[in-house]
Amino acid sequence: MTVLTLHATGPEAPGEVWERYAVPARWPQWAPQITGVSVPVARLAAGVRGRVHGPLGVTLPFVVEAVDEAAREWSWTVSAGPVRLHLLHWVTGAPDGGSTTGLRVTGPAPVVLGYAPLARLAIGRLVHPLR
Domains of the chain, by residue range, sit at 2-126
The neighbouring-strand residues paired with 102 are 7, 90
Residue 131 has a pLDDT of 78
In the DSSP assignment, the letter for residue 11 is S
Between CA 62 and CA 109 the distance in angstroms is 19
Q: What does the pLDDT read at residue 91?
A: 98
In the chain, what percentage of residues exceed pLDDT 70?
100
Tell me the pLDDT tens digit for each residue of 79-131.
999 999 999 999 999 988 999 999 999 999 999 999 999 999 999 999 999 87
Residue 43: predicted pLDDT? 97
pLDDT at 19 over 90: yes
Compute the average pLDDT of residues 58-67.
97
Q: What is the mean pLDDT of residues 61-81?
A: 97
Q: Is the pLDDT of residue 46 over 90?
A: yes
**Looking at residues 36-46, what average pLDDT do you find?**
97
Assign domain 2-126 to its CATH architecture. Answer: 2-Layer Sandwich (3.30)
Q: Classify the phi-psi angles of 29: left when phi > 0, otherwise alpha if psi is within -120 to 50, otherwise beta.
A: alpha
